[in-house]
Amino acid sequence: MSTTMKNIPQTWLEEIIRLSIERLVIVDRHGVIVYIDSDYCEFLGTTAEKAIGQLAPDIIENSRMHIVAKTGKEEIEEIQPINGSVMIANRYPIFIDGELVGAMGTVMFPNPENLMHYNHKIQSLVEELNFYKTKAEKELKSKYSFKDLTGNSRNFRGVKAFAERISVSDSSVLLTGESGTGKELFAHAIHNSSLRRNHQFVPINCAAIPEELFESELFGYADGAFTGSKKGGKKGLFEVANNGTVFLDEIGEMPLFMQSKLLRALQEKEIHPVGGQKNIRVDLRVIAATNRDLEKMVEEGSFRQDLYYRLNVIHIEIPALRERKEDIESISNELLMKLGKRFYRTGIELSTEVLNRFHQHSWPGNVRELENVLERAINLLDGNKVELAHLPLYLRDQEVVNFQPEVHVPASPENPLNQAASTPVLTLKETLAQAEKLALQNTLLLTNGNKLEAAKLLGIGKTSFYEKCKLYQL
């Protein structure tokens, strides 16, 4: 005790505690009560003599003092029901010279004034909770239906019709196709047309979850499963999706160790939360998507063959935009309407020159690239018509790489000196290098310099991409 505190008589300290609006209890390292103020005892219907020396839970209803004294983690503004009243409890660990020796707890008796204050505070929290709950539920519903999938080309209509036909099934679906083809839109539409449409649609991006968090994110964890875990545990996304659909996007990025756990969950229809004591039954449909070659990954040993067959019950390959160029105009118009609402613009259309250029382009980024191009154009637009000048440089000045062999022109009146009119011939290695450099440049322009995204679009690893950029000084 400090010199200043020593000057205060013990009776004074006890009266100061009594005058406080908060009631006080102190426990030792084992949760045994070593001090409790008289007003608290009166409320509990006991005396200090009877309470001191007893375990806190034996004297105080719903007490967690013994837990705080053991874990050393404070608990602030917790709701604690005691004797038919709702108390606001604060619990603090006590450290002396760095050693955990016990805990101090306070509870506040609600009088009419502060009861109204806390009632208002709790009501505000309930309203906020309901708002976010409604928002979360809305976000876990499918946003798109098959009518939102634009395209009238023969191959796209065939894929769309097949997807609509199998949507009523409960079988797993594997969506494949290049990045930006609309795999997630198809997943939304399949769920929206299924018998599970009134339940949750839970999208999971396997490429965005850190490897060490995969299991807890998908399957959840129990209370106290690990340091820093949420009090009371947490539901996994599979449990959230129960009776609905889980969409595993970028399934090819799932770590190998997690693939075996996923396979077991799909086979047994149950999950085991991290640190949990029992399994949880789940009933859900799985839709997976990837732009990677899973069959090749199976051959290489980086993707489990049994999981591949479990996911690939129904396979839907979504065509690239260059394979259905007749849809470019209708997709562009649809995107312009959507972007127009975002930018408060109406009546935007494409010039004939722009539409022709769109048909000439190979669209390595597919519909996502097209949307990127149109959004950029709207930002530069003065009137209502998108012209070539509004397109990115790689599209505006697009040139197809045509390497002509050397052409020898025989002597003629127009060429009296019998000289060879020629264009240079490049070796195959030089030709491939130029084409590769052009592909890297175009993709970097498309992704606004984002090399990770560019590597994904080109279907190569980031290390290989960086090496090529260094080689070509990009």
Do residues 358 and 459 both lie within one domain?
A: no
Do residues 440 and 342 both lie within one domain?
A: no
How far apart (Å, rounded) are the C-alpha atoms in residues 389 and 382? 11
Do residues 185 and 285 both lie within one domain?
A: yes
| DSSP letter string, 305-364 | HHHHHHHTTEEEEPPPGGGGGGGHHHHHHHHHHHHHHHTT--S-EE-HHHHHHHHHS--T
Query: Left, alpha or beta for 34 (phi > 0: left; psi -120 to 50: alpha)?
Result: alpha
Name the residue range of residue 359's domain: 323-398
Do residues 286 and 228 both lie within one domain?
A: yes
Triad 362, 363, 368: Cα angle to 5°:
170
Q: What pLDDT does 229 receive?
A: 59
- Does 332 map to a domain? yes
CB 203 within 8 A of CB 187: yes
- Find the CATH number of the domain harbouring 98: 3.30.450.20
Contacts 24+ apart (CB under 8 A), 207-211: 207/249, 207/250, 207/253, 208/250, 211/255, 211/258
Q: How many domains, in total, are found in the chain?
A: 4
- Does 327 map to a domain? yes
How far apart (Å, rounded) are the C-alpha atoms in residues 286 and 301? 23
How far apart (Å, rounded) are the C-alpha atoms in residues 213 and 209? 7
249-286 pLDDT per residue, tens? 999 999 999 999 999 999 999 999 988 888 999 999 99
How far apart (Å, rounded) are the C-alpha atoms in residues 28 and 344? 65
- Please state the φ and ψ torsions of residue 221, each to the nearest 5 degrees: -150, 155
- Find the CATH number of the domain harbouring 393: 1.10.8.60
- Domain termination site, one of 317, 337, 371: 317
Which DSSP symbol is given to 234?
E
Triad 322, 324, 325: Cα angle to 5°:
70
Question: Mutual orientation of helices 366-380 and 328-342 as an angle, nearest 10°?
Answer: 50
- Find the CATH number of the domain harbouring 445: 1.10.10.60
Q: What pLDDT does 188 receive?
A: 95
CB 59 within 8 A of CB 53: no
- Find the CATH number of the domain harbouring 165: 3.40.50.300
Do residues 211 and 331 both lie within one domain?
A: no
How far apart (Å, rounded) are the C-alpha atoms in residues 233 and 143? 29
| DSSP letter string, 131-193 | HHHHHHHHHTS----GGGS---SHHHHHHHHHHHHHTTS-S-EEEE--TTS-HHHHHHHHHHT
Which segments in the chain show pLDDT lower than 70?
1-6, 17-19, 21, 109-140, 225-231, 398-430, 473
